Amino acid sequence: MRRTTVLLTLLLVLGAASPAVSQPQTVEESDFLVAPFFDHGVVLFANIDRATWCPWALGGFGGDAFPDRPLPVRYHEAGQGALMRHIRADVEVEVWAPGGGSFEVEDLCGADATLVATGRGLLVWNDNDWDVSLTRTNSYGGGLGATVVDTDGRTWQVRFSVRFQIDRNDEFHLRSRQTAFVPTGRIR
């Protein structure tokens, strides 16, 4: 069996092709975030649940098994012709611990994986050159801030942020990545 490791943050854009934009417009698209928190031994699912994501991931990330949770996505054109894309939405969140502490997809999707907490959060994502026109340096990324409740009724703050860049030479750079999974001390 081929083993695939969840190494990078996945923000998967599953909508149709980018709209032609002369004026800013907002459309609905089915996007989600799956992010490993390596230092905390958990994986964050935002706007998709593990039960939907796992069959798709185990199937090689092909097909149409995507969440039916569209988000408002705003597009507008920059002065140099680059298409800018923005997401700001309240989303459902799940936090899971992979079986055996491994970040292998097979362990995250296996029977030994454990649901740690659920809740809601604010997902924000910005891309200043969605079509990678290379008319400018493409800085993109965003984050999620959420409050989740674990299976014992304790609340936690979840924070995630990441920033990528594609320069004018079409070279990819990870500029920053931060995670936090912190108990608040409250019991619900």
pLDDT in tens, 90-114: 999 999 999 877 888 888 998 899 9
Number of domains in the chain: 1
> What pLDDT was estimated at residue 13?
40
Torsion over CA: 24, 25, 26, 29 (sign): negative
Q: Is 153 left (phi over 0), alpha (psi -120 to 50) or beta?
A: left
> What pLDDT was estimated at residue 64?
62
Is 105 within a domain?
yes
Q: Which of 19-28, 44-53, 65-74, 165-174 has the highest mean pLDDT?
A: 44-53
> What pLDDT was estimated at residue 44?
95
The per-residue DSSP string of 73-97 comes to: EEEEE-TTSPEEEEEEEEEEEEEEE
Mean pLDDT along residues 16-40: 79
The Cα 71–Cα 185 span in angstroms is 32
Is 3 within a domain?
no
> What pLDDT was estimated at residue 79?
73
- Check if the beta carbon of residue 95 is closer than 8 Å to that of residue 121: no
* Per-residue pLDDT tens over the stretch 139-176: 889 999 999 999 999 999 999 999 998 887 888 899 99
Mean pLDDT along residues 17-42: 81
Is 178 within a domain?
yes
For the chain, the helix, strand and coil percentages under 3-state DSSP, each to the nearest 5: 10, 55, 35
Is 4 within a domain?
no
Is 169 within a domain?
yes
Domain containing 115 equals 10-187
> What pLDDT was estimated at residue 99?
86
> What pLDDT was estimated at residue 107?
87
Is 18 within a domain?
yes
Is 142 within a domain?
yes
- Residue 12: beta bridge partners? 32
pTM of the predicted structure, to 2 decimals: 0.82
The Cα 150–Cα 156 span in angstroms is 8
E strand residue ranges, 30-171: 31-37, 42-46, 71-77, 83-97, 114-127, 138-150, 154-166
Is 2 within a domain?
no
